Amino acid sequence: MEPSVLLLSDLVVLPVSAAFSAVPEVADKAAGGKKAIVITQASLLGGKLPLESATLEIVLSVTRTVEFHSNQLLEEIARVLKPGGTLYIQISFDFAGQLEEVRGALERKLLLAGFLEAKVQQMSSLEDAQSFTIRSQKPEWKIGTSFSLRKTPKSFPKVQFDDEFDLIDEDSLLTEEDLKKPQVPIVSDCEVGSTRKACKNCTCGRAEAEEGEQKLGLTTDQLINPQSACGSCGLGDAFRCGSCPYKGLPPFKLGEKISLSGNFLVADI
């Protein structure tokens, strides 16, 4: 039968009955037929315990020195304890007035070693001697344990339609402007290229522009997009200088195509 209770101490001689009586749970386990083993002078083991991992239910450690419970020893105790196992530490020392300091340091060590719920169960003070028993527990879960998280499926509200539910006519959302057909820009039907010329049946106005170029001595760009360095070319002959290329033309707006009447290019008789 594997042992369930370990009595651990750095003392040479350990009164087992006195140690068990201080912790009733340990005494009950031993009296109930649980196998218990005792290790004294544990400080000579170099922080190692000759036991299999996760085999003990309770470990009771008794010492009179603060330095006995090193981080390595506490980690070793956690190794041999089963998940949910309990560790009791009885410590007594002759430094009066340092009880709270020692207890706080030991609780921090237990926390770093992975123990939970470190609580002082018994505390006593006799003249210059201070003593207390602190109880802590190894977590139920194992290091590296993984489990899957349940994800709540997303649900969307269902929309129920009945005969009384009014549907909106899509056509009623359109205005008269939306229903109008878009105006397609007129595409020039003349030759396309760097030297475009009006075709025989020109309908885009290029033939009139070429005729104006010949009779007025202006380029197509000057007729379609007239510009002025002085800003007065579009105001009329009264404001134009003697060398103005637009002299003789009616007033026009700069940047807009010059519109000529049908008989403007006809020679006066």
Residue set of the binding site for [2Fe-2S] cluster: 190, 199, 202, 204
Tokens representing 162 are 């009945």
Instruction: Report the sign of the C-alpha dihedral through residues 139, 140, 143, 148, in that order.
Output: negative
Distance from C-alpha of 237 to C-alpha of 225, rounded to nearest angstrom: 19
Distance from C-alpha of 53 to C-alpha of 80, rounded to nearest angstrom: 4
Estimate to the nearest angstrom the gap between the alpha carbon of 58 and the chain centroid: 44
Residues paired with residue 38 on neighbouring β-strands, in sequence order: 7
Residues paired with residue 136 on neighbouring β-strands, in sequence order: 87
**Rounded to whole angstroms, what are the CA distances from 110 to 114, 117, 118, 157, 208?**
6, 9, 7, 51, 102
Rg (CA), the chain: 53
Binding residues: 190, 199, 202, 204, 230, 233, 241, 244
Say if CB 70 and CB 17 are below 8 A apart: no
Say if CB 62 and CB 19 are below 8 A apart: yes
Tokens representing 219 are 């380029």
Binding residues for [4Fe-4S] cluster: 230, 233, 241, 244
**Rounded to whole angstroms, what are the CA distances from 39 to 8, 23, 50, 151?**
5, 17, 10, 49
